[in-house]
Amino acid sequence: MKQQHPITPPPDLVAAWCRETDDSEPMFPQVAAKAAQWGAEQAEADIERKRQEAADQELEACLGEVSFLNSQALADRVRAARRPEPSRLKEQSLKHLDVMERDGYYLPEILQDLRRAVEMAPDE
């Protein structure tokens, strides 16, 4: 079996794009444009996820270095100050929803971001 590139759109999504094409123009350029846009969005989301993972690792390493202070309250305050603001997570989640709505497709990472945003939202 041929291995797919990690940002290759799934076949059902490509089929949906083919159904959406304008018959007055050749199909390939239209589908290729949608695939390129989808790939760029997936790559951007992957870069952001990796950036956040690296920032989390750095934060935990820094907190480990000051563990001699033996203050969980201080560690919690530093951790809270260095985490992304809820509005930023909300903004990213709304972008994910736009992609899901437009393409009818999602990745597990998108669901994780959406779950985190909902969990961080205040109870009403």
How do residues 66-89 score in pLDDT, each as one tens digit?
777 777 777 777 777 777 566 677
Provide the pLDDT for residue 36: 82
**What's the helix, strand, coil split of the chain in %, to 5?**
75, 0, 25
Contact 80, 57 (CB under 8 A): no
In a domain, 66, yes or no: yes
In a domain, 18, yes or no: no
Q: Are 76 and 89 found together in one domain?
A: no
In a domain, 25, yes or no: no
How do residues 6-46 score in pLDDT, each as one tens digit?
667 778 888 888 888 777 777 777 788 888 888 888 888 88
Q: Are 98 and 63 found together in one domain?
A: no
Provide the pLDDT for residue 60: 84
In angstroms, the first-to-last Cα distance of the chain is 50
User: CA 121, CA 86: separation in Å to the nearest integer?
Assistant: 8
- Residues spanned by the domain of 68: 49-83
Give the pLDDT mean for 53-65: 84
pLDDT at 1 over 80: no
In a domain, 6, yes or no: no
Q: Are 92 and 119 found together in one domain?
A: yes
Provide the pLDDT for residue 113: 77
Distance of CA 75 to the CA centre of its chain: 27
Domain count across the chain: 2
